[in-house]
A and B are shown apart, each in its own frame.
Chain A
Amino acid sequence: MARATLPFAYAWRNVLARKLSTAVTLLCVAVSVMVYVVMVSTADGIERVAVSSGDPRNVVVLSTGANSAESSRLPPPSIPVIRHFPGIARDNSGEPLASVELLSAQELWRVDEAESGEGGRFTPIRGVTPSAFQVHTGSHLVAGRLPREPGEILVGRLLARELGGVGVGDSVRFAGRVHRVVGVFEARGQIFESEVWVELASLQTMLDQRDVSQVVIRAADPGRLPEWQEALSESRRVRVDVRLEPDYYADMGRGSRAFAYLGNLVGFLLGLGAIAAGMNSTYAALSGRVREMGTLRALGFGRGSVGAALLAESCLIGALGGLLGILLALFFDGFAMSLMGLAFELQVRPSSLGEGLALALAIGLVGGLLPARSAARLEIVDALRHA
């Protein structure tokens, strides 16, 4: 009996006894956890687009020295050379699996929005040929048909959603003219879902440009990709840079690190605030129960178990707050956001939820430590005499 521990129910009842303080601390913890998880999920959402966008069998062919499609320009004579480079996979009809693409970023408006005043959404416009759907695995039409003439476009699933549910038959405006949506496509969460796809030829006319940005090609033998990549880069017939598609898009994911960094920082700061609030209410709980603590000690409960009971209370509030925070954060799973033309969905991963819960427990633990120590140090006689 001398070293008996207080039952868990004791901590639980005490948590319930002081409702207001408990609620405030709980909310503090919940908000810290929610903000942390949401920010990390933002980073994960961007990261997922970046990671899912590359097919490990594909390489991206750019002009020499170009870091991205935006700065790359391949002149028309180089295109057949790339398309017929030995080692390219072919489709059933024997055509090479090569997607010739021209990329451009345009400001885009829904047709019912006024073009003056505020700027439009920066939207990537990709001029493609039907091969694009074969080379970019996972991309397929979910509604409508392929564009047949200038002025007809496809929109990606996420872009359509972001434009307020634009669908087949609706119109959007960019590059100074109105374009009609004839199809909506999906691409397994890849970057293409935040783009407009148009026929390569009509984009070339629109931009008055014959060059293209890049050619994405599929290797016939993915096992020998590195050698193939090297052979193509060193080809004397074209001067190009060749990058593996997954690597190419992984660079894009670097932007997500800023969010992860910010999420950690903000989570840490909010956590500090929650610790202060938690400590305050745990101290108040202690000062309101000094005599009770003395009685418990007199009954034979040890110093440690009295302190532990208080610590358990604090951790319990932390854990409850953490659960609430996680619940709130789960509401943001799949939340659509856009950042400079990249549309993505927040991805709440189980690991971030775990981290959030760990943060909550840490807040509870740190917030309860000092009050628990004070409780353990109480002398029985003083405590019993406490007013």
Chain B
Amino acid sequence: MRRFTSGAGQLRMLLRQVMRSPRRALLTFLGLVVAFFLFTALESVLYTLEELLAQNASETGIFMRPRSRASFFRAALPIRYVEQVRDVDGVVEASPARFHFGAGVHEGSFVVVVGVDPPSYLRLRPLEGVSEVEAQAFRGDRRGALMGARILASNGWEVGDEVTVRGRGRVPDLSLRIVGDIGQGDRMGRVALAHIDYLAQVMGGQGRAAFIQARVAHPSLALAIARSLDERFANFAVPTRTRSERSHAAGILANLSDVLVGLRTIGYLALVITILVVGNAVAMGVRERTMEIGTLRALGFGRGRVMALVVGEAMLLALAGGLAGALGAYALFESGWIAVPRMTDLSLHSDASVLARSALLSLPVGALAGLVPAFSAVRRPISEALHGAD
């Protein structure tokens, strides 16, 4: 009980110290809010990018495409490889895919149709928003398609409609029957799934896929299986390049690395500057309280206790400002209001882990900021401090 009251007493004392100069406390608080807002916002941007890539990258997923390719989207991989991939020990399922780029009802709108082999695709990648009835309809209807919520909404289409996805460039039109709705999942919002053999019939290139995706039994197998597959197909007409989905995502991130490093640096730079700002503000307070600190020490407060008071003041301020700034950025990003200009599909968001990390960082920021003023508070001999200001 005594410990509790003394703890509460300490906090009251700290609060009173902080509020000694409400204007200074407010300004320092504002500086902290801005810095932590910026830090959390930048970290949220990075989080969104990383998560976007990691989302599709399961630890057991592998991904095969032709070793030399003009374009990622061109269907050049023989679909018959799928059977051989499935036969490999440790491979649970394999499925081919190719693309059709089209437009919806509106000029300039984008619909990406992914041609898949429905049975193996749905085993490989169960879709949460798709009911068993819809899945069955998709498997059984050669012209059937499952569509993302955003496509349905922006074109005014509904399940059951017969629709035409107009081809772009020399790509022919595609008429599809919508048999299901992929649901609200952001990731597939603009994707339509159709039968790969129907796509081949319309577009040509029978028996070819842009890539083959597969799932292995255990994450540790992914790399070895990917290698052995590439060796197996090395002397075939179309040699392959297979990698784990994780390393594929890592590769994309590596190509963005200059930008990622830049953004991260700005965030941390803001925090470092904030340490100085808070430190300066606390130091001003300490200078103004020279006599009072001398009194405290004369009353028997040890150096450690006085230093703890000063550091505590800085940490309290930092925690309050850091929490407010981090929460503000988190709330703003989670509200979905932030859109990247020209990329309407990519809505930025944040995560509790980002929020927690930013908020917790406020403690070391405060501690570091308080350190120098704390030392200067106890450096002066008591008698000198009692004699007053500078």
A residues touching B (Cβ–Cβ < 8 Å)? 20-21, 24, 27-28, 31, 35, 42, 63-67, 70-73, 102-107, 116-122, 175-176, 206-209, 254, 257-258, 261, 266, 269-270, 272-273, 276-277, 279-281, 283-284, 337-341
Contact = CB atoms under 8 A, between A and B. Distances in A.
Given A119-B254, A280-B28, A64 B169 contact: yes
B239 interface: yes
A266 B38 contact: yes
**Which interface residue of B34, B42, B251 has the most chain A CB atoms within 10 A?**
B34
B247 A280 contact: no
B284 A284 contact: yes
B23 A65 contact: no
B250 A176 contact: no
A65 B172 CA distance: 11
13 contacts: A31-B269, A63-B169, A105-B71, A107-B251, A121-B255, A122-B255, A207-B69, A270-B273, A273-B30, A273-B31, A273-B35, A276-B34, A338-B255
A338 B262 CA distance: 12
B341 A280 contact: no
B273 A280 contact: no
Contacts, number: 145
Interface string B271-314: 00110110111011000000000000000000000000000000
Given A119-B255, A280-B281, A284-B284, 15 more contacts: A27-B273, A64-B169, A71-B71, A105-B71, A105-B72, A107-B251, A175-B67, A208-B76, A257-B341, A266-B38, A266-B42, A269-B37, A280-B27, A280-B31, A284-B24
Task: Specify the main secondary structure of chain B where it touches its partner.
Answer: helix
B153 to A, nearest CB: 24
B362 to A, nearest CB: 14
A24 B276 contact: yes
Interface residues of B, number: 55
Contact of A66 (B31, B169, B251): B169
Interface string B16-27: 000000011001
Interface of B: 23-24, 27-28, 30-31, 34-35, 37-38, 42, 67-72, 76, 101, 168-171, 223, 227, 238-239, 241, 243, 247-248, 250-252, 254-256, 258-259, 262, 266, 269-270, 273-274, 276-277, 279-281, 283-284, 340-342
Contacts of B168: 65, 67, 71
A64 B269 CA distance: 49
Nearest to B340: A258
A147 B171 CA distance: 35
B237 to A, nearest CB: 9
In the complex, which of the residues B223, B239, B280 has the most CB atoms of chain A within 10 Å of its own CB atom?
Answer: B280
Given A269-B37, A273-B34, A280 B284 contact: yes
A37 to B, nearest CB: 12
A118 B250 contact: yes
Contacts of B31: 273, 276-277, 280
A102 B266 CA distance: 39
Contacts of B243: 119
A66 B168 CA distance: 7
A175 B250 CA distance: 19
Nearest 8 A-B pairs (CB), nearest first? A119-B251, A65-B169, A276-B31, A175-B68, A273-B34, A176-B67, A24-B280, A277-B277
Contacts of A254: 342
A66 B170 CA distance: 8
Contacts of B341: 257-258, 261
Given A117-B247, A254-B342, A283-B24, A270 B38 contact: yes
A339 B256 contact: yes
Contacts of A270: 34, 38, 270, 273
Nearest to B261: A337
A276 B30 contact: yes
B28 A339 contact: no
Contacts of A277: 27, 31, 277, 280
Contacts of A119: 243, 247-248, 250-252, 254-255
A72 B70 CA distance: 11
Contacts of A70: 71
A281 B67 CA distance: 62
B329 to A, nearest CB: 10
A284 B23 CA distance: 10
Contact of A104 (B38, B70, B241): B70
A65 B170 contact: yes
Nearest to B253: A119
Given A20-B283, A35-B269, A27 B276 contact: yes
